[in-house]
Structure 1
Amino acid sequence: MAKRLFEDLVTRCQQEGIIEGSNVAIDSAALRAYEKKQPKRKSEQTGNANWGAKIDSFGNKITWFGYKIHLAVDTKSELPIALEVTPAHVNDGEMAPGLIEKTASRTSTRFFILDAGYDQMKVYEAARNVKAQAIIPLNLRGEKEPPAGMTSNGTPCCSMGYAMTYWGVDGDMHKFRCPHATGKVDCPLGMAACSSSNYGMVVKVNAKDDLRRYSIPHRDTKRWKELYNERTSVERCNSRLKTYLTADAAHVRGIQKVTTHQYLNAIVLLASALAVSHHSKRAAA
């Protein structure tokens, strides 16, 4: 019942222009359990609260016994569009494809924005399957060297080893130019080493060749960084659920009751946004 009401309110917020849904940020947050703590192996058998661990923004490892709330949030309104609750040990990347699919069924999302913890091929594929782009920083820990003649972010290198200059996109094709021709580097051989053209050497890369390494917009461009900065919207949504509501203070046991509790918190956010919108419209009338 709570889930149905939540979904109805999301639709209502969309109809009234509160939720846009073109850019959506996804992240998870820890929820401490009201249950008595148990060993990890025993907890995994119940499907309820379990032990979780993550690295915080300061690089510290934190652990907790309980659950995770996984949220998909509209970056413009900072309101939730979809949510899931899992035991704390469930990997974030396992939940992202489902949240992407749920969100896409309700909105026309162009970009899904996630942190480096979601840097998994299945997340990029899930976004592409709904005709959207995943904006995720590459997690280079443990990664092998990038393909020969390529930087880690998918930029081709010229014959002298310099990263080429990004020169825009045409459909799925990224265009890169000689860095000497564009004034980015002072190559000792000039442009002649790579091309006889005054325009300099040009390399085109199909973004579909590697959904993870290539992105539209291209990684490290101003537009890509602007989109990634919108990820903080989901952090603020999580903070409101915990600070002003009772997301992390649920006095109920079991994942079904905890999930209902989280839906009720999300319902309060959506209903409050609708109330503020109606009040503003009446005041302006």
Structure 2
Amino acid sequence: MAERTKSKIEFLIMDGGYDQLKNYESAKNIGAQAIIPLNLRNEKEPPEGISSNGTPRCSMGYEMTYWGADKDQLKFRCPHATGKVDCPLGMAACSSSNYGMVVKVDIKKDVRRYSNPHRDTKRWKELYNERTSVERCNSRMKSYLTANSLHVWGIEKVKTHIYLNAIVLLVSALAMAKENKGKKAA
């Protein structure tokens, strides 16, 4: 008998309604990163020196440029040094270095506000967009199959029922694809 390997969950992707500290902490506890847009309903404004999406601001008030991550550290650089902003004082306002001011943020400092990948990156947006395709499947299982009104009890029975719904959905999609392919060939 072949040995089964456990799959590691890398990301938990949820909508803004799940933006609560306990969800981020639960994801971190299983070694995953929560991908949830910040819902600022409970905040009047973000902490001083940080934008609403978790990006630090330079001393002139501009959002710094995300410059990558190293494990649990996010690196941000002076926006003037990276060419994102034409600061009237140049880099002199923030740093005497030619590289510009650098701010490193430890993700563990605030697991809700900071994530790897950073919220403003293309990768974070790509991950979050994957959620919409799953939501379409969930909606179809609720609308056209019986996922919305289960008549079984217990997690194992519910799981089996949902798996059967997913199989029916997949077989239906394959049948439609085959039918459409046959129509195009004719």
Fold-level match, TM-score > 0.5? yes
Structure 2 CA distance, aligned partners of 1:181 and 1:212? Answer: 28
Number of aligned residue pairs: 170
- Aligned partner of 2:153 among 256, 272, 284: 256
1:269 aligns with 2:166: yes
- Give yes or no for contact 2:80–2:86 (8 Å, CA) kept in 1: yes
Q: CA deviation at 1:145?
A: 2.0
Structure 1 CA distance, aligned partners of 2:115 and 2:161? Answer: 36
Question: Normalising by structure 1, what TM-score?
Answer: 0.54
Which residue of structure 1 aligns with residue 114 of structure 2? 214
Q: CA deviation at 1:263?
A: 4.3
Q: CA deviation at 1:272?
A: 7.1
Which residue of structure 2 aligns with residue 121 of structure 1? 21
With over 3 angstroms needed to count, the CA separation of the structure-2 counterparts of 1:112 and 1:272, relative to structure 1, is: same
What SS class does the counterpart of residue 191 from structure 1 fall into? helix
- Give yes or no for contact 1:135–1:227 (8 Å, CA) kept in 2: yes
Structure 2 CA distance, aligned partners of 1:228 and 1:127? Answer: 15
Dislocated runs of 4+, deviation >4 Å:
259-263, 271-274
Which residue of structure 2 aligns with residue 54 of structure 1? none
Question: Normalising by structure 2, what TM-score?
Answer: 0.80
With over 3 angstroms needed to count, the CA separation of the structure-2 counterparts of 1:175 and 1:230, relative to structure 1, is: same
What SS class does the counterpart of residue 40 from structure 2 fall into? coil
Which residue of structure 2 aligns with residue 158 of structure 1? 58
Which one has the bigger strand percentage? 1
* Deviation larger for 236-245 or 213-222: 236-245
Q: CA deviation at 1:262?
A: 7.4
Instruction: Write out per-residue CA displacement over residues 62-115 of structure 1, whole angstroms, 9 at most, x where no aligned residue.
Output: xxxxxxxxxxxxxxxxxxxxxxxxxxxxxxxxxxxxxxxxxxxx6311000000
Which residue of structure 2 aligns with residue 57 of structure 1? none
Percent identity over paired residues? 66
With over 3 angstroms needed to count, the CA separation of the structure-2 counterparts of 1:273 and 1:188, relative to structure 1, is: same
Q: CA deviation at 1:273?
A: 5.2
1:168 aligns with 2:68: yes
Structure 1 CA distance, aligned partners of 2:103 and 2:148? Answer: 51
- Give yes or no for contact 1:191–1:201 (8 Å, CA) kept in 2: yes
- Give yes or no for contact 2:147–2:162 (8 Å, CA) kept in 1: yes
- Give yes or no for contact 1:157–1:163 (8 Å, CA) kept in 2: yes
With over 3 angstroms needed to count, the CA separation of the structure-2 counterparts of 1:127 and 1:248, relative to structure 1, is: closer
Amino acid at match of 1:154: G
What SS class does the counterpart of residue 89 from structure 2 fall into? coil
Which residue of structure 2 aligns with residue 205 of structure 1? 105
- Aligned partner of 1:130 among 16, 22, 30: 30
Task: Return the structure number with greater relative CO, CA threshold 8 A, min gap 6.
Answer: 1
Which one has the bigger helix percentage? 2
TM-align CA RMSD: 2.8
| Runs of 5+ consecutive residues of structure 2 not aligned to the other structure | 175-186
With over 3 angstroms needed to count, the CA separation of the structure-2 counterparts of 1:180 and 1:116, relative to structure 1, is: same
Which residue of structure 1 aligns with residue 139 of structure 2? 239
User: Within 5 Å, which residues of 2 pair with 1:20-39?
Assistant: none
| Runs of 5+ consecutive residues of structure 1 not aligned to the other structure | 1-14, 16-105, 277-285
